[in-house]
Amino acid sequence: MPFTTTTYIRRAERDDLDTVVAWMESADFQHFLYGDPARSPKLVREKIVAMLGRAVGHTMPGGIYLLIDSPALGPVGLLSLQNISWRNRSCSIDLYIGKTEHRSGIIAAGAVYQTLEYCFHELNLHRVSAFIYSFNTASWRILEKTGAKRELILQDHVARDGNLFDLYGYGLLRSEFDAFRAEYHHTASGFSLEAMIETLGRAGTEPDG
């Protein structure tokens, strides 16, 4: 039976500022991704405003910030495409699910799948990278399920709570994602960008950008 979701991804905008600031200031975000609790809240806010204000429509941005949204749940998480190289047709992705109960579930998996489709089939990228801490098992398992290869293991590379943890570097080539997509197309069809746009259309909502 195909999995379906009403969750969709869209560009983050100014109205999302409070939500994004709250996520980025949370200890959880700083544990799994980056940040420092000692940072000035004003500077964090200014940085996010700058990031939300980056043009995307007709330019070639180096980064794109996407909100994972849901009609039923509201904003669920944040996805960022960083270090986009239009020459190498590559980027790295970061995913943060703000609502902890959805972290290892179908919403996170669906958002990753939609993002990879967006990267490969809309932005025409060739490669997507992700750097994930070893203790973030839910994240690297989701990525491995899409066909991403663990290419890099940097031992004792990340300090958290007085301990050192490994960092995993993942790489997913378009050909690998397409192979995964072909194999699981029936199951994952409810996650696709096409399904997302259809769902939004039915709800009378148009996707942003």
Interface with another protein by CB under 8 A: which residues?
62, 83-85, 87-90, 126-127, 129, 149-159, 162-164, 169, 171, 173
Nearest to residue 175, comparing CAs of 140, 141, 149? Answer: 149
End-to-end CA distance of the chain: 31
Name which of 123 and 173 has its Cβ closer to another protein: 173
Least distance (Å) from another protein to the CB of residue 88? 5
Least distance (Å) from another protein to the CB of residue 54? 15
8 touches 199 (CB < 8 A): yes
The tokens of 46 are what? 């200014």
Least distance (Å) from another protein to the CB of residue 140? 14
195 touches 7 (CB < 8 A): no
Name which of 59 and 100 has its Cβ closer to another protein: 59
65 touches 58 (CB < 8 A): no
Least distance (Å) from another protein to the CB of residue 149? 8
**Phi, psi at residue 193, to the nearest 5°?**
-60, -35
Name which of 156 and 206 has its Cβ closer to another protein: 156
- Beta-strand runs (E) in the chain: 8-11, 64-69, 77-85, 90-97, 127-133, 149-160, 163-173
Tokens 């429509």 identify what position?
Answer: 57
Name which of 46 and 156 has its Cβ closer to another protein: 156
Name which of 39 and 150 has its Cβ closer to another protein: 150
Least distance (Å) from another protein to the CB of residue 153? 6
